[in-house]
Amino acid sequence: MSEYNTPEFTRYAALHQTPNGAGDARPTALQIVQDEGLEGKLAGKVVLITGCSSGIGIETARAMKATGAHVFATARDLNKGKKALADSLEPGKLELELLDLNSLTSVRTFAKSFLQKTNNQLNILINNAGIMEIPEERTEDGFEKQFGTNHLAHFLLFQLLKPALLSSSTSDFQSRVVAVSSMGHRYSDIDLDNVMLEGGAYRPNHAYAHSKIGNIYLANEIERRYGSQGLHANSLHPGGIWTGLQAHLDLTKWQGNAEIERYMKSEAQGAATTVWSAVAKCWEGKGGKYLDDCQVAPPYDESTGLLGSGYCPWAYDEDKAKKLWSMSNNPTNSQDHSNSRLRLRLRLRLHYSAPPLYYQTRHRAPLNGPNPARKRTTDAITATMPRAEVGSTKHLANQMKSKGLQRLRWWCEPCQKQCRDANGFKCHVQSEAHVRQMHVVGENPQKFIQNYSSDFQRDFVALLRTTHGEKWIGANKFYNEYIRFKEHVHMNSTRWNSLTEFVKHLGREGIVNVKEDEKDGLMVAWKDTSMAATKRREEIREQELAEARSGAGEEKMLKKMSKRAQEEAEEKARILEARRAAQAQTTSTTVEEDTPAALAEEKKEEAPKEEAAPVKISFGLKAKAAPAGKTGFGQMKSQSIFKRQRPENGAEAPKKKVKL
């Protein structure tokens, strides 16, 4: 770093040692141009700047126009851009073009038009546009919006304009790329396995950090790959500036704070580092650095606090920069963007990785229902089964066999292979291909388990969000919904030994809402962590606190408690009634005696006869008169229970019905 401690690289360092708020002695973008003696000196050069409808983009465009170069500024909203640059727009000097970084199609359309207008010339590319810490959204191409706008769109723009940058480079002025990053890259390291922060992992500041690290990696890789060909790149933090970029942040804690206001810059000062990197003579033939306050930034010192200057260690991680470059190439080079998100997923999909072998002999899906995953295998097996008459023993056996296969009991995760039965699985694990694959897994099994755990959690939470939202559902019931999807990751391949352990983990980490119900056990519900939802919950909490202070909250709470107690009592009564009904149904027989009124009515209908009384059977046989002197049942000892007995006084005794 000694070469960057020379006066030409540190000429503005002293001015940044004692900041005194916006408009202080720190340089502006136009002052950089004047100090470099470049006013009107870059005539014939072509400059492209993205995001010039507000903030530091406007000041960057004005300063670059002062160099005499032909400047093209882009904006997503042309009307807004024209108003912002109304006093500076001039054909042949500063022109405004339409570019929506939310769409890769728009990027391609713009690049084609731009190259035609400039005759394939471009000397300086400034990737200035960006968005910051917005609620979770997607671009038109299905990418996480901050990452898609701040990194992927600029990556594609560079790739499309790279031939022009390389061909425009000369020995007098080599082409440059300036990537406006942020100190926000320090919020968190980039997760290349889940760059899109899917599966409930989305946090606005983490997504912003991912995109800003992407800006740094883009500049570093450009320098590494094309520096020897006369194309150089730097990334930078412009400083603290109050602009529309912070529209989604709660600034009440920051604005008005004297210590913070002391570090803040004006928009003209915020554009200074960008212009310094773009035109300063000291950067001729150099690049690959992260800049801050018009100098090369040092490593970040945590003791300096949030406002301290510097970069985190991962900013110069060459391996991650290479991987992200390769991953970013897939969607941006594809012509069919309808499924680019599915192809990319912007994570390292480990198709041939799995936890240790002993996990694989367990069920991939539970036994309480068929699993339509691997439908291809199921259909193939079912098609080969012999046909049998519906309802026959063979037909039922085939159904059971097919159902067992649908459960995917014998599934090998490392090889992505479904075996028919235990014997087939045994043969497979002894095969050369499986042994070879297990050698790969055995090198670092914990890494593979962690990858599957991450996939499982992400897919579980994503499905919970889309299917049930914030409604409560039994964890076990929802898990059975989850495993119906093809290519799901089963829990046996993760670090969690049971569903209960996994759900409690989600609750502890605050990823989903979890509660325990006496009837349904563990219940889960998706937790909305967006800025709007958080703000809404805070407003509700503040309202409840206000009601509690005023006394109205106590009455409201008592009503809620009374209502809850009433609901619980009704629920208990319903359960008790259901139990009693079940007990009544299980009773085998019930004996009821006829009422005197019914007996009297029956006696009127019967004609008096001298013969023996007719025999009635309680289980529905038609009454039949027996011959005189006979009972119709021989000398059975039990005939008295079927035969109506007459008392000695001649009155008919009350009869009994027997219910079976």
State how far the Cα of 191 lies from the Cα of 451, in Å rounded to an integer: 12
Distance, CA of 330 to chain centre: 21
Q: Dihedral sign, CA of 302, 303, 309, 310?
A: negative
412 touches 425 (CB < 8 A): yes
Residues of the chain with CATH 3.40.50.720: 2-342
Q: pTM (2 decimals)? A: 0.55
Residues of the chain with CATH 1.10.10.2030: 357-373+408-526
State how far the Cα of 479 lies from the Cα of 391, in Å rounded to an integer: 32
Instruction: With a cut of 70, list the residues of the chain below it in pLDDT.
Output: 1-2, 251, 253, 331-409, 485-487, 531, 548-555, 586-660
Check residue 569 and give its pLDDT.
85
Token reading at 517: 């119900």
Class of domain 357-373+408-526: mainly alpha
- Amino acid at site 465: R
State how far the Cα of 158 lies from the Cα of 209, in Å rounded to an integer: 21
Residues comprising the chain, all counted: 660
Check residue 395 and give its pLDDT.
63
String of b and e for 464-498 (b: at least 16 CB within 10 Å)? bbeeeeeeebebbebbeebbeeeebbbbbbbbbee
- Please state, as a whole number, how many other Cβ atoms lie within 10 Å of the Cβ of residue 2: 5
Q: Which helix (H) or strand (E) holds 328?
A: helix 318-333
Check residue 614 and give its pLDDT.
52
239 touches 262 (CB < 8 A): no
Token reading at 83: 């108003």
Active site residues: 181, 208, 212
Check residue 225 and give its pLDDT.
95
Q: What is the DSSP string of 374-385?
A: SHHHHHHHHHHS
Check residue 615 and give its pLDDT.
47
Q: Dihedral sign, CA of 139, 143, 144, 145?
A: negative
Q: What is the DSSP string of 386-426?
A: PP--TTSHHHHHHHHHHHHHHTT-SEETTTTEE-SSHHHHH
Edge-to-edge strand order for the sheet containing 473-474? 473-474, 521-526, 512-517
State how far the Cα of 247 lies from the Cα of 640, in Å rounded to an integer: 96
Check residue 641 and give its pLDDT.
43
Class of domain 2-342: alpha beta
Check residue 393 and give its pLDDT.
61
State how far the Cα of 45 lies from the Cα of 164, in Å rounded to an integer: 12
Q: Report how many helices (DSSP H) and strands (DSSP E) the chain contains, helices first.
A: 23, 14
Token reading at 280: 């300063």
Q: Is residue 293 classed exposed, middle or buried when 0-12, 13-18 and 19+ CB atoms within 10 A define those classes?
A: buried
String of b and e for 14-52 (b: at least 16 CB within 10 Å)? eebeebeebeeebbbbbbbbeebebeeebeebbbbbbbb
Q: Which residues pair with 547 in a beta bridge?
A: none
The interaxial angle of helices 153-168 and 318-333, nearest 10 deg, is 100
Q: In terms of DSSP bridges, do strands 70-75 and 94-98 run parallel, antiparallel, or are they unpaired?
A: parallel
State the Rg of the chain over Cα.
Answer: 39
Q: What is the pLDDT of residues 601-649, one digit of tens each?
A: 555 555 454 444 554 444 444 444 545 554 444 444 444 444 455 555 5
